[in-house]
Amino acid sequence: MNVIDAIRHHARMRPHDIAVVHPSGAASYSQLASVLAHLSVRMLSEGIKPGMTVAIYVSDPFIHLALTLGAMINGITSISAHPNYDPLPAHAKIDVFLVDRNLPFTPAGTVVPVGANWVSDGGRDAQAVLAGPGFADPEAVSRIFASSGTTGLAKLIGHSEAATKRMITRGLALDPMGRGPNLCMMWLSTIGGFGTALATLWHGSMLVLATAPLMVLRSINLYRVVGLRASPQQLQALVEMVRGRPVRFPSLEKIEVGGASTPSSVLLAARATLCPNIIGIYGSTEGGLVAQAPAAAMQAHPDAAGYVVPEAAVRIVDDSGNAVAVDVEGVIQVRTPDMTAGYIGDDEATQAAFRDGWFIPGDLGVMGADGLLRITGRADEMINAGGVKLSPVLVDEFLLSQPGVRDAAAFAFRQSGRSDQVWAAVVCSPDFDESALLAACRARLNSRAPTRLVRMSEIPRNAMGKPMRQKLSQDAARA
């Protein structure tokens, strides 16, 4: 069984139950099945055939989701652009671009404009039947994700239909995110957003599509959302919006936060104002779910990734690849049933990140005697300030606890022939006092304190909410 089979079943068993709530309305399971049936036929009429690969550049979340599911019905591989409409890597082999606006980088003859009529025309026919060839080989790539990591250099990661099924069923068994209504603030181009959508529809629950903080907060109470998934920065945006206001969210039973470490101040505020049950999730697009952290562990250890979940394996190794002892920092390697074999069209990156059946996400960490995995930094982001090595995450944590700081990301300022300097980009409130903050940093962080603050209106982050520190470092060097 796949997600299309599940939607077909729910359309028969609970046709009038709401499947998807989106900014323009809602669709029951019967209406969703009808939309997908008509959309899959529409794609074939546009010359988009099984075996092709389509890139979806459409901002409307419901149309975007429907296009992705319609492609799956027809055995068409899809890749979703992030909302910023960046071009895909040059080695991405795209047959057709499905777009809602003109793009400067699409080759002539490969663009198919998509409008609201693609989904509105199909929703009226309750008798439409979901039918299509699907993927003849369940291990063939059905969905591609463009993961930018923290460098801005996208890598293409392929997931098969079989791997997607394993990811969903394993996730539902470990922590039933499918029992909704559910809302994920991450875009459908991410493994978190796409996985939440599929798990919810697989389970026959309600999926709420919303990303803007105000709309998310309204949707939680309006649709009695049970499960919320967000990045730490998205969670922080929700906390800032409800701070000092007498609002409560009684339906919300669980918040899953992943993509980066969650500052203690954000975690405390979220547990007090949104939901006390917050679960940290550690994983990757390449490897799937690896570990889960209960709120208590995250509170005691802000760098906690969590306890390794069943069927996943983690080992900590030194620079030579030898396993290190308990409580000794090293390079994290992971292995899961959902792990992909490598990057599409990038042998060099594959050889660097996949070794002897293990995936190397680039994180540094420690495995405690109690089995708790902690992330101490990124191997490619460590700052060596005159022999003092530090993780920028520690600086972030302190900066975010200070008055007037809304967001922060420390990074290495590098100049040829000189030691790294600790700099930090900050997003500030109007009453921000730079001198006071620098003094507080020196008093608390000593030699790890930033020597300069760069004020920004927004910290550059990837689709999973991780700060793009290398970009900050490169931009600072150029400036």
Helix (H) or strand (E) holding 281: strand 278-284
Please answer whether residues 63 and 101 qualify as being in contact, where contact means their C-beta atoms are separated by less than 8 angstroms: no
CA dihedral over 233, 144, 44, 139, signed as positive or negative = negative
Please answer whether residues 75 and 50 qualify as being in contact, where contact means their C-beta atoms are separated by less than 8 angstroms: yes
Q: Per this entry, what is the length of the chain?
A: 479
Instruction: Tell me if residue 300 falls in helix, strand or coil.
Output: helix
Confidence at 78, pLDDT banded by 50, 70, 90: very high
d(CA 41, CA 380): 46
E strands, 218-328, are 227-230, 254-258, 278-284, 288-293, 304-308, 313-317
Please answer whether residues 76 and 107 qualify as being in contact, where contact means their C-beta atoms are separated by less than 8 angstroms: no
CA 239 from chain center: how many Å? 19
Is pLDDT at 66 greater than 90 in this prediction?
A: yes
Sheet of 53-57, strand order: 111-113, 96-99, 53-57, 77-80, 141-147, 155-160
Task: Give the tens place of pLDDT for each residue, 212-240.
Answer: 999 999 999 999 999 999 988 899 899 99
Q: What local confidence, expressed as pLDDT, does residue 171 receive?
A: 78
Helix (H) or strand (E) holding 196: helix 191-203
d(CA 421, CA 412): 6
d(CA 149, CA 84): 16
Which residue bears the tokens 């969670």?
235
Confidence at 420, pLDDT banded by 50, 70, 90: confident
Q: Which tokens in the block code for residue 470?
A: 């290398």
d(CA 167, CA 339): 9
Is pLDDT at 391 greater than 90 in this prediction?
A: no
Please answer whether residues 283 and 177 qualify as being in contact, where contact means their C-beta atoms are separated by less than 8 angstroms: no
Confidence at 119, pLDDT banded by 50, 70, 90: confident
Task: Give the tens place of pLDDT for each residue, 441-477.
Answer: 999 888 789 999 999 999 988 776 778 888 888 888 7
For the CA atoms of 431, 444, 370, 305, what is the dihedral angle to 10 degrees? 40
184: burial class by Cβ within 10 Å (0-12, 13-18, 19+)? buried
Q: What local confidence, expressed as pLDDT, does residue 126 receive?
A: 52
Q: What local confidence, expressed as pLDDT, does residue 323 receive?
A: 93
**Comparing C-alpha atoms, which of 2, 154, 168, 14 is closest to residue 86?**
154
Is pLDDT at 151 greater than 60 in this prediction?
A: no
Q: What local confidence, expressed as pLDDT, does residue 274 receive?
A: 96
Question: Which residues on neighbouring strands pair with residue 171, listed in sequence order?
Answer: none
What are the structural domains of the chain? 3-373 (3.40.50.12780), 383-478 (3.30.300.30)
Angle at 427 between CA 189 and CA 465, to 5 degrees: 20
Question: Which residues on neighbouring strands pair with residue 256, listed in sequence order?
Answer: 229, 279
Average pLDDT, the chain: 89
Is pLDDT at 177 greater than 70 in this prediction?
A: no
**Comparing C-alpha atoms, which of 145, 248, 213 is closest to residue 462?**
145
469: burial class by Cβ within 10 Å (0-12, 13-18, 19+)? buried
Confidence at 168, pLDDT banded by 50, 70, 90: confident
